[in-house]
Amino acid sequence: MRPLVILVATLIGTALGTPLGGAKAEDASWGCQVLLCAASKNPSWHGVAYCVPPMTRLIAAMKDPGFSWPICHEAKAGKPGRENYEDCPAGTTVGYSSQGDGGWRGEPDQCIKTVDVCRSPMERNAHTRQSGMTSFGNGHDGCIQQVATPRPRRADPYFFDIPNDQGMKERFWFNLDH
């Protein structure tokens, strides 16, 4: 987090028209306070006394109709993104747990893997006969199934993409849970 602290402190100083040494996080805009606190990792914002008031204010404001994220324009980070789920493991694809009349719907909360449940040609033939299916082509009908597992939820579902000194965006994940 050290590079981020330096970046945000520099931005705060720039925004306040003070040199780096004279910049105080308490004097920053609410958007910059939220950005600095959200990006805090060790400890997270929950463990930084300075961060509790602006983040508590943010959480309360999110309940208001017409809420708009406070922005730290100096950091060029914009509004945060949100991804509730981790990526699915290699060899699986994202899927949905419910299907309605118009197709799959709901949250992409499953990881789907296509597997051959029959291990030998004999098992495939027996499985096909038991299921009443007719085999075409490769003889795998009825043996190829999709297995779904719950997609892991992120502990920190929100993120800010903050440009570094080289202009490359770095992603900082955070949560708003108390």
Confidence check: pLDDT of 19 > 80: no
Claim: this prediction has a pTM higher than 0.85? no
Closest by CA to 39, choosing from 4, 10, 90, 79, is 4
Reply yes or no on whether the pLDDT at 132 is more than 50: no
Beta bridge partners of 159: 81, 173
Judged by average pLDDT, the poorest of 53-62, 92-101, 118-127, 138-147 is: 118-127
CB contact at 8 A, 2 and 9: no
Determine if residue 20 is left, alpha or beta; phi over 0 gives left, psi from -120 to 50 gives alpha, anything else beta.
alpha
Residue 150: pLDDT band with limits 50, 70, 90: very high
CA distances, 54 to each of 1, 28, 51, 110 (Å): 19, 11, 6, 35
Whole-angstrom distance, CA of residue 148 vs CA of residue 99: 14
pLDDT of residue 100: 55
